[in-house]
Amino acid sequence: MTLLVWAGVLLIGGIGSVTRFLVDREVTRRAGRPFPLGTLTVNITGAALLGFLGGLALSKDAALLTGTAFVGAYTTFSTWMLETQRLGEERRKWAAATNLVVSVVLGLAAALLGQWIAGRI
């Protein structure tokens, strides 16, 4: 792997994490609810994008830059788990369970949809 590719990973990963922050913040602001809709939106759109990228015939470096660097920095498993745990701590068990189930079901559906769309191109 070249130095240029590593620099691309740093730059594109940074863009992905800033994009996550902006999308999460905007969705949360608009929703105005205590449910973590911002993180859900980020992870579902990230799953769709990763499914789409996985369905394309990308080179190794392009897959690294788009899938690992951007989507990996854009999506957030740890925040999803922390928010779910906090919902449980707040005794909002149904919200915590909903966050888990909806995230997994919609995430899988989004990844499959993204892959399906890529297969049609």
Range of the domain at 17: 3-119
Binning pLDDT at 50, 70 and 90, where does residue 69 land? very high
Return binding residues. 72, 75
Question: For 77-85, what is the mean pLDDT?
Answer: 96
Mean pLDDT of the chain: 96
Residue 45, pLDDT above cutoff 90: yes
The tally of domains found in the chain comes to 1
pTM for the whole thing?
Answer: 0.91
Integer CA distances (angstroms), 88 to 27, 35, 41, in order? 22, 12, 20
- Taking residues 9-26, report their average pLDDT: 97
* Average pLDDT over every residue of 32-58: 95
Quick one: tokens of 42? Answer: 């980020």
Confidence check: pLDDT of 1 > 80: no
Average pLDDT of span 85-106: 97
Annotated binding site for Na(+): 72, 75
Task: Please say if the pLDDT value at position 33 is more than 90.
Answer: no
Across the range 34-52, mean pLDDT stands at 96
Q: Averaged over 42-58, what is the pLDDT? A: 97
CA angle 57, 108, 64 (to 5 degrees): 35
Nearest to 46 by CA among 96, 121, 113, 100: 113
State the pLDDT confidence band at 94, using cuts at 50, 70 and 90: very high
